[in-house]
Amino acid sequence: MTGSRRAAVLGSPISHSLSPVLHRAAYAELGLGGWTYERFEVDEEALPGFFETLGPDWAGLSLTMPLKRAVLPLLDEISETAASVDAVNTVVLHEDGRRTGDNTDIPGIVAALREHGIDTVESAAVLGAGATASSALAALARICTGEITVHVRSEARAAEMRQWAERLGVPVRIADWADAERALHAPLVVSTTPAGVTDALARAVPERPTALFDVLYDPWPTALAARWSACGGAVISGLDLLVHQAVLQVEQMTGRSPAPLDAMRKAGERALTVR
């Protein structure tokens, strides 16, 4: 697979995506000079039409919101990991025309945690209940031996998280967002909320916090992550997740393993410093 091949990230909005930086860094390190990786603004309505334009030179696609579920009818097969949360963020376009989907967010979360020495936890807390939270639940199902508390801001979200917990077979307790400060005392806190939502919680960080996984990477650090780090707690960032899930994408799309984790991380860090 050293010839001219194409890959890209799709989503809406997409201009902020760091995926091109990470994947291009991997191609350079792997000596894949003929490979290109672009970004395309594609929403749910335009996705089927975009797929119709894909020729044999295409190797794969990365998908971000709002396409992770919209893509499912367009695929020939999806992995068990993707099926567990009905969400695909990686499409591999095979030479025989097959389109297969996977979810690298889930193992990416696990890998990022393990890189920071977190292989197992007795309990955990999740802040938020959006699409990323379902992937976080699936990842925690692999490392958490006890109950997971999910703090939500609406009853609709609470019902959705109960459904995911039942489907994934994980013990989950739903708690109101008004009690989110209590989550900060968990052995592992995973924040899946948009920018600014957890800023008010920064003042409630305990004197000796344990571990925080904040899935944001821009702007960074968040107020919560900055306070957490200042108090001596371990912080895993959204860039850690982005890099680890991208490593798996590169390996699947190129057939080359291992992907250059360090080179990809450094490229991402450089890109963020100039934003």
Alpha carbon distances (Å) from 119 to 143, 144, 170, 253: 6, 9, 17, 27
Point out which residues pair with 100 in neighbouring strands. Answer: 77, 92
Sequence-distant (≥ 6) Cβ neighbours of residue 10 within 8 angstroms: 39, 40, 42, 47, 50, 61, 62, 63, 64, 67
Catalytic option among 68, 151, 157, 265: 68
Which residue, among 68, 31, 32, has the nearest Cα to 245 in the 3D structure? 68
**In angstroms, rounded to a whole number, what is the distance separating the alpha carbons of residues 158 and 137?**
13
Give yes or no for a contact between 93 and 117, defined as CB atoms under 8 angstroms apart.
no
Active site residue 266: no
Would you state the structure tokens that stand for residue 271, as one six-digit string? 């890109």
The length of the chain in residues reads 275
Cis before 73 (ω within 30)? no
Hey, which residues are catalytic here? 68
